[in-house]
Chains A and B, each alone.
Chain A
Amino acid sequence: MMLGTPLNERPARLDLLQLLAVLGLMVGGAAFVYSATMVHEPVGFWQQYHELPLPQFFGWLLPQMFFRQIVWYVLGGAAAVVLAVVHYQSLVRWALVAYWASILTLVAVLIPFIGATRFGARRWIDLGFFQFQPSEFAKLAFILAMAHFASRPAGELKSPRVFWKAMGLLALPFVLIMKEPDLGSALVLVPTGVVMLFVAGTPRRYLLRLGGAVGLLGLLLLADIFFARPDAWYSVKLEPYQRRRLLVYFGQEDRPPAGASPAKILELRKQHFDDQHNVRQAMISVGSGGLLGKGWRQGTQNALGYLPRAVAHNDFIFSVIAEEKGFVGSVIVVTLYAVVLFTGIRTAGQARDRLGKLLAVGVVTLLFSQVFINIGMNIRMMPVTGVPLPLLSYGGSSVLCSLIAIGLLQNIHIHRKGY
């Protein structure tokens, strides 16, 4: 799969293979955002292009999601170029600034006046032209800060104080993102941080203990969801929809409170059915795609509105791809991600220093976590959370951050050992 570079040759400056895969993902992203959003439009791109005078054509084009996505690819690509050129060691000097800036935006977004609410979650800061999503940038800033923090001499990591500091570094954005609430984005920080610490050389016992504690907490949380009354004093204050999503994931129904009226029970049943709706429709989309799929723009799940329009082009873009391109398309998507991830790991292995290695590992883990959670929720392997599929899902913040992350990987690759 990987093209090894013969040792006696001057290695390429850029990781072209990775860039090719990224390009593939971007082409797919533009094509399927087009497919997911344009089915509801009466006229397609080419017809508009041929029939409208140029100014009007641009007037039509500008608000189209696929076009905006392409614009974000271009902007993100430019940002990636900038970030790939400046040596990452100089970049990391700004790590703590970036980290605290992101913490600031995460706090800001929680303030009702600043943060915009959509679907009951306060995740965006409306900049007029751009719905800025601080949690996306917080992920990147966290990787920078964590890499900066953990790249200290391995011996220091043995001290519990340092470990607790690292935990604090993780916990701050985690809690703030949880508060929005955005469970998925918060959760991807955990594997990213843990893997970075692990690769940095944190003693196993700390990490095992951490893993044990997280596992225990998770179990307690689930037990609470399944068995405790939602209004009990000891119950965890999750958002109702988060609670229900988790119930749906584990195939459970919300238990009606004791002595509930039949109408109430019926209402809960309906609620459960509605909660399942997205997952069920995503499963139907993916499954009915079959081996070869129905063809680009031929999927019915999205066209007929079964797959909710609000999510088809972002969180559930994979359903659209899987329905229209089938298992073959899914394999291609997973393969493209595999190329990006494994070239990223290779970059980590070839990194000039611990900082570069940790940065690469952080980016790879973050991307992998998002890919795994997002694709997994389309086939009900993971609960539904608002985690975008990097580079494929529609969304400015996500695309920008994913490309910046790729830029970082390229940066480390360019400044790798032996070059």
Chain B
Amino acid sequence: MLIFDQLKKSDPSLRLLATGVFGGLAVLLIGLWWVQVVRARFYEAKLETQSCRTVRVPAPRGKILDRNGTPLAENQPSYHLSLYLEEFSPAFQRAFNTRIAACKKAGLKLKRDQRSELARATRYAVVSNVVAAVTGEFQSAVTLDPEKFRRHYETHLALPLTVVPNLTRAQIARVEEHPDLPAGLAVDTQAGRVYPFGPTAVHLLGYVRRDDSSAEGEEAFFNHRLPDWRGIIGIEAAFDPQLRGEAGAKSVLVNHLGYRQSENVLTPVAPGQNLVLTIDLTIQQAAERALQCYGPNTRGAVVVMDPKRGDLLALASSPVFDPNNFVKGISHAQWEQLSDEKLRPQINRALQENYAPGSVFKTLVGLAALEAGLNPSEIHNVQADPVRAGRGCIYIGRRKIEDTAPPGAYDFRRALKLSSNSYFINAGLRTGMAGIIQLGARLHLGERTGLLPRGQETPGIFPKPARLRSGWSDGDTANACIGQGEISVTPVQMAIMTAAIANGGKVLWPRLVDRLEPLAGTGQPPTTFPAGRVRDDLGVKPRSLEIVRAAMLADVEDADGTGRAAQVPGFRVCGKTGTAQIMDARNQVTDHTTWFTSFAPYENPRYVVVVMVESGSSGGGTCAPIAREIYLALQKREQSARANPAPLAQN
């Protein structure tokens, strides 16, 4: 170094000093290089953890709309009075200084923890005074809970503190018009989930619950989370990822006291998609109303389906409950009600329960028999029951099976409309169980339809061909022929069966969701779910189907038909009633499941209506009138559509 050269060779002490200075500065530089270059990342991360708070920002949840665009589930802002504490920081400091000065004047010397206690009390005093001043004109006095305030201050300082939740309109006006509203007090909005029609279609829509946790594949670590909702059941759960969208993230810069300084969006939210159902709100409401006709706590279900497209126009289950309660938070009493063991309001009876089909299964047995060569005009004589006057019966070996239909001569049509057990057991035994099972397999009985996720749908019970080789008896076949024994179905499965009869043998996938619509402006095309997807074909002759359809028409139109209560003027309804017996362990009849499966109009079937009521009196007496109400609503809907033809935007 030049300095060295200039130092005299004879001046070793200065050389030593220069070396020392040089060494010292070099050590500093090496230390700085280590901290600022090698370990820079480490310190950047430390800086971030101490001065940044990440906040999960949920995306606005998609709406659920009926086929005409009426929202069945949507977001409603709720208004809250919130405190932005960073704005009060100078006021805290001022008030604290005054108090400390007062203490000094009084000759008090505060210890460290006493000072922090004083600071805490001061903060609370400042904030609660402000809150009291602003909310003074509210009808009920608002007091800030000191414990809540302390907790928020210690753990959530970067976020606003909600002082008064769910402001009324009058309160919002009071706050907004307050003459000297402090800077740190503001009305915040939060998105809440609301079901404008309350309990309507609750089983199918489902409900959401407060859940701020991260979805799968999402950033899992956040300092704070804003309120978010998660679908628990129904469509809300089945399409939760699509409805929820993608939560975003923001980072809040905080100072050394933890007060918010500025905000920065890290990931923008991707709003959830709107979901359009195939459900028609008016029909859904008509179905639910119709179920209520039987009684306030009717346990039953209604399925209204388009037999050509597979669209479900209504999917009702009763009793109902209000999903809005889940958003607000369920009270203990409400939960008791929801858990009632007999009513079981939470069960979706259209999909989630196994029911014996009873006599409505005779349509399938009849089809199988016709395919096996049964002559529909052939007369079968039913013997009289020796015990019950005016009723028929049939003996399988030594076992007597009672009949509700009278004894006498039956052809196919009369047998179906009077629901003769004897006739169909006879026909089924002649056909053989294998033929019935084959037909049932094509209807995919015993399998799920996939309308809702696994836990929300039961597959039902239907014997497999192998079952016939392991101790299957004629008695079992006889039971199956009248929809009892080892057969259980859901109302939706019966609707699919009826639709197949009505539409000429096509077994359709039922359809509940028409499409998912991304938010306007994103430019993404909607996701559509095609209608009329054929799952299978019954593979029966059109003539057989026509015979069954004609018999079903007679069941409703003939004066002695069991389903005559479903008659609708100007709408030719075809139906089949059913009353399944529910046995206890000792083979005693304890209850009935009553059914009415139907389609209309006869000439050009457009609707399938399946009604099931637990503990009804009979299919014809309980369910057929309910179906009638629904057909009336459908008829009215057609009339109004004709009167003001919709722009046909939806379908």
Contacts and interface: CB of A to CB of B under 8 A. Distances in A.
A393 B108 CA distance: 36
B17 interface: yes
Nearest to B36: A327
A199 B17 contact: yes
B1 A1 contact: yes
12 contacts: A287-B39, A288-B47, A291-B37, A300-B47, A305-B255, A334-B32, A342-B21, A348-B14, A348-B17, A349-B6, A361-B17, A365-B17
B37 A199 contact: no
Nearest to A360: B14
Interface residues of A, number: 47
Contacts of A286: 32, 35-36, 43
Q: Which size class do B's interface residues fall under?
A: 35 or more
B49 to A, nearest CB: 10
Given A327-B32, A334-B32, A364 B21 contact: yes
Interface string B32-76: 111111011011101100110000000000000000000000000
A342 B19 CA distance: 10
A195 B37 contact: no
Contacts of A284: 43, 46-47, 50
B28 interface: yes
A342 B1 CA distance: 10
A85 interface: no
Contact of B40 (A3, A201, A287, A345): A287
Nearest to A350: B6
Given A300-B47, A334-B28, A349-B11, A287 B256 contact: no
Contact of B13 (A198, A330, A379): A198
A304 to B, nearest CB: 4
Interface stretch (A101-109, A133-141, A368-376, A394-402): A368-376
Contacts of A88: none
Interface in A72-122: none
A286 B44 CA distance: 10
Contacts of A199: 13-14, 17
Closest 3 A/B residue pairs (Cβ): A287-B43, A2-B2, A327-B36
B28 to A, nearest CB: 5
A374 B56 CA distance: 42
Of A4, A322, A342, the most chain B CB neighbours within 10 A belong to A342
A281 B8 CA distance: 45
Interface string B3-25: 10111100101101110011011
Given A349-B6, A372-B24, A289 B36 contact: yes
B18 A345 contact: yes
A4 B28 CA distance: 26
A305 B24 CA distance: 31
Given A4-B2, A300-B47, A346-B3, A288 B18 contact: no
B31 A379 contact: yes
Interface of A: 1-4, 195, 198-199, 201, 283-284, 286-291, 300-301, 304-306, 322, 326-327, 330-331, 334, 337-338, 341-342, 345-346, 348-350, 357, 361, 364-365, 368, 371-372, 375-376, 379, 381
B17 A345 contact: yes
B31 A381 contact: yes
Contact of A304 (B6, B39, B42, B261): B261
A304 B256 contact: yes
B384 to A, nearest CB: 92
Contacts of A361: 14, 17
B1 A305 contact: no
A330 B35 CA distance: 11
Given A345-B7, A371-B25, 6 more contacts: A199-B17, A284-B43, A286-B36, A287-B36, A331-B29, A349-B14
B648 interface: no
Given A199-B13, A345-B14, A300 B51 contact: yes
Nearest to A293: B36
Contacts of A322: 32, 36
A1 B21 CA distance: 15
Contacts of B37: 290-291, 327
B41 to A, nearest CB: 8
B46 A288 contact: yes
Contacts of B50: 284, 306
B21 A304 contact: no
B253 interface: yes
A330 B29 CA distance: 8
Nearest to A191: B20
Interface in B115-136: none
Contact of B35 (A283, A365, A371): A283
Contacts of A195: 17
Contact of B2 (A1, A198, A300, A306): A1
B40 A290 contact: yes
A161 to B, nearest CB: 22
Contacts of A350: 6
Contacts of B25: 334, 337-338, 341, 371-372
A198 B17 CA distance: 10
Contact of B8 (A3, A290, A305, A349): A349
B28 A372 contact: yes
A4 B6 contact: yes
Nearest to B113: A267
B14 to A, nearest CB: 5
A368 B24 contact: yes
A357 B51 CA distance: 51
A2 B24 CA distance: 19
Contacts of B40: 287-291
B6 A346 contact: yes
B102 interface: no
A300 B14 CA distance: 43
A334 B255 CA distance: 30
Contacts of A357: 14
B24 to A, nearest CB: 5
B51 A306 contact: yes
A357 B257 CA distance: 52
Contacts of B256: 304-306
Contacts of B5: 4
Contacts of B27: 381
Contact of B7 (A338, A346, A372): A346
Contacts of B374: none
B582 interface: no
B7 A349 contact: yes
A288 B27 CA distance: 20
B144 interface: no
A299 to B, nearest CB: 10
B20 to A, nearest CB: 8
A1 B22 CA distance: 13
B471 to A, nearest CB: 73
B540 interface: no
B18 A342 contact: yes
B270 interface: no
